[in-house]
């Protein structure tokens, strides 16, 4: 390409696109110069993540609160800082074991050769983080990628610009940009980021955007991990402790005002327990947020657009005659861009609230006649990112686990499978593909290279041409032992 043509094409690119290309080239070069960082270097990178969390905790709390309009300080500390720090600690504890080549059994007829799987860094990992947990869902996968020996580029959401800037500055203070860098910018920058030929790309967000990201990545055959969402059900068995279940569901739904990819989306309750369960959820929500109309513990909705979408969902089912129980006053909460915790009893199945992922503090509660009916309801929809089951009947629990497919499950609580670092986290079907957390994250961001070590005593030469009677004898022997 002529130089003047190249300059013209470059001039047409945005500042964000040029920055992405510059840092990507820098990181690819750095990877080429050190394609297998030592254990000590990887630990040092993880220590930098721990340090930046400690140093910037207050700044992250302030930035995220400003982006949301109100975000509980303690929700940020628990979900963004402590959860990320726990994952980093787990990676450090297990890193030597994860890095070690794994021996694989070699078939008898191939002995005395040896077989191993040897983890190898992929190169440059791209991470597209969402707005709902802007620090944790950027730094947790970054830590996994660094543990695997990679370079990392992060694109935060444009809906949380202050959190993105805080993270960019925090990372720049600890890391050289050839190792980890943050690219801020709007939708066009995000599009260019997803089209970059990373060695692996992780996206967390909606199914609709995830589809577009996967299509953009496919142009470069970039492998992707998609952490999406969907309508994650709660199944309440008749054997459940209703009061404990109601408090757990109220907490799981109200945390971050329901703006959580694994938040309980709706409840399937035994018909004869539905009204009592609704009352118990409302009562427990009032205990969790005794001054919900003015407490800073209750988080705001991220934007006017999301707020209006949620309100319209409620108004649709209200107009269609659904019974609605609100915890909190809409008059007091709406000016703060907050919604009451809203329980919708048996809404129409064709309403928006039953077809779309809610992603807010609205909880439909539906009656079901039996566990079989609950299973059928779940299986009639797309496979969810999470499923929650409450009860004490082990046979029914196992029936639900075996006959439904979901990304992950917590039994007798919500959300906790995400926090267990030794469990892989990921979706299935339209709720996502691939997984990370713990060893699963290390594996996702590694090439698990198969290596066959042939022995000098190999008898493989006996199967090489020229073929003849000896070949028949060798094949006869091999057939007996394979």
Catalytic residues: 227, 261
Q: How far is CA 74 from CA 11, 132, 221, in A?
A: 45, 15, 41
Element (H, E) at 32: helix 15-33
Give the sign of the dihedral formed by CA 373, CA 376, CA 378, CA 380.
Answer: negative
Phi, psi at 279, each rounded to 5°: -60, -40
Separation CA 265–CA 357 (nearest Å): 7
Both structure tokens of 119: 């983890």
| Three-state DSSP state, 323 | strand
How many Å apart are CA 175 and CA 92, to the nearest integer? 18
What separation, in Å, do the N-terminal and C-terminal C-alpha atoms of the chain show? 56
**Cβ proximity of 414 and 264 under 8 Å:** yes
Could you give the strand order of the β-sheet that contains 432-433, starting from the edge strand earlier in sequence?
180-182, 151-155, 124-128, 200-204, 224-227, 432-433
Full strand arrangement of the beta sheet holding 323-327: 323-327, 341-345, 362-368, 266-270, 233-236, 386-390, 408-411
Angle at 449 between CA 202 and CA 181, to 5 degrees: 35
Q: Is 326 helix (H, G, I), strand (E, B) or coil?
A: strand
Alpha-carbon torsion 344, 346, 351, 357, what sign? positive
CA distances from 174 to 52, 56, 276 (A): 7, 11, 53
CA distances from 329 to 280, 334, 341 (A): 19, 8, 10
Q: Where are the alpha helices (DSSP H) in 255-370?
A: 274-288, 304-319, 330-333, 352-355
Does an H or E element contain 254, and which?
helix 242-254
Q: At what angle do helices 187-194 and 207-218 cross, to 10 degrees?
A: 50
Q: Taking the CB of residue 373, how many other CB atoms lie within 10 A of it?
A: 15
Handedness of CA 164, 440, 416, 208 (dihedral sign): positive
């Amino acid at each position: 390409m002529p130089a003047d043509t190249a300059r013209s094409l470059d001039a047409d690119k945005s500042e964000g696109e040029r920055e992405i290309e510059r840092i990507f080239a820098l990181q690819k070069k750095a990877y080429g110069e050190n394609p297998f960082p030592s254990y000590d270097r990887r630990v040092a990178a993880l220590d930098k993540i721990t340090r930046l969390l400690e140093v910037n905790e207050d700044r992250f709390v302030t930035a995220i609160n400003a982006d949301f309009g109100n975000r509980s300080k303690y929700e940020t500390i628990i979900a963004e800082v402590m959860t990320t720090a726990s994952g980093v600690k787990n990676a450090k504890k297990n890193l030597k074991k994860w890095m070690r080549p794994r021996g694989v059994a070699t078939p008898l007829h191939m002995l005395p050769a040896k077989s191993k799987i040897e983890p190898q860094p992929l190169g440059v990992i791209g991470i597209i983080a969402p707005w709902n947990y802007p620090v944790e869902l950027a730094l947790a996968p970054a830590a996994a990628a660094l543990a695997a020996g990679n370079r990392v580029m992060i694109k935060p959401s444009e809906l949380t610009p202050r959190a993105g800037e805080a993270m960019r500055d925090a990372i720049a203070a600890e890391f050289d940009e050839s190792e980890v860098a943050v690219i801020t910018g709007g939708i066009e920058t995000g599009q260019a980021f997803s089209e970059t030929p990373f060695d692996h790309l992780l996206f967390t967000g909606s199914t609709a955007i995830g589809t577009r990201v996967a299509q953009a990545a496919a142009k470069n055959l970039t492998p992707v991990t998609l952490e999406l969402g969907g309508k994650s059900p709660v199944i309440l068995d008749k054997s459940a402790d209703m009061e404990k279940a109601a408090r757990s569901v109220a907490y799981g739904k109200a945390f971050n005002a329901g703006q959580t990819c694994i938040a309980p989306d709706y409840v399937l309750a035994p018909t004869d327990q539905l009204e009592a369960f609704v009352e118990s959820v409302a009562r427990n929500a009032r205990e969790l947020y005794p001054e919900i109309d003015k407490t800073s513990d209750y988080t705001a909705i991220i934007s006017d657009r999301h707020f209006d979408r949620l309100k319209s969902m409620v108004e649709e089912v209200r107009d269609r005659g659904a019974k609605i129980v609100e915890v909190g006053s809409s008059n007091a909460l709406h000016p703060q861009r907050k919604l009451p915790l809203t329980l919708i009893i048996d809404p129409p199945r064709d309403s928006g609230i039953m077809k779309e992922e809610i992603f807010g503090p609205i909880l439909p509660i539906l009656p079901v006649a039996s566990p079989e009916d609950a299973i059928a309801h779940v299986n009639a929809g797309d496979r969810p990112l999470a499923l929650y089951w409450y009860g004490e009947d082990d046979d029914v629990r196992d029936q639900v686990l075996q006959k439904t497919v979901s990304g992950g499950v917590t039994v007798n609580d919500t959300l906790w499978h995400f926090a267990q670092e030794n469990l892989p986290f990921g979706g299935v079907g339209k709720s996502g593909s691939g997984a990370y957390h713990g060893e699963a994250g290390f594996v996702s961001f590694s090439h698990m290279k198969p290596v066959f070590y042939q022995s000098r005593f190999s008898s493989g030469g006996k199967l090489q041409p020229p073929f003849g009677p000896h070949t028949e004898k060798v094949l006869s022997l091999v057939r007996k032992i394979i």
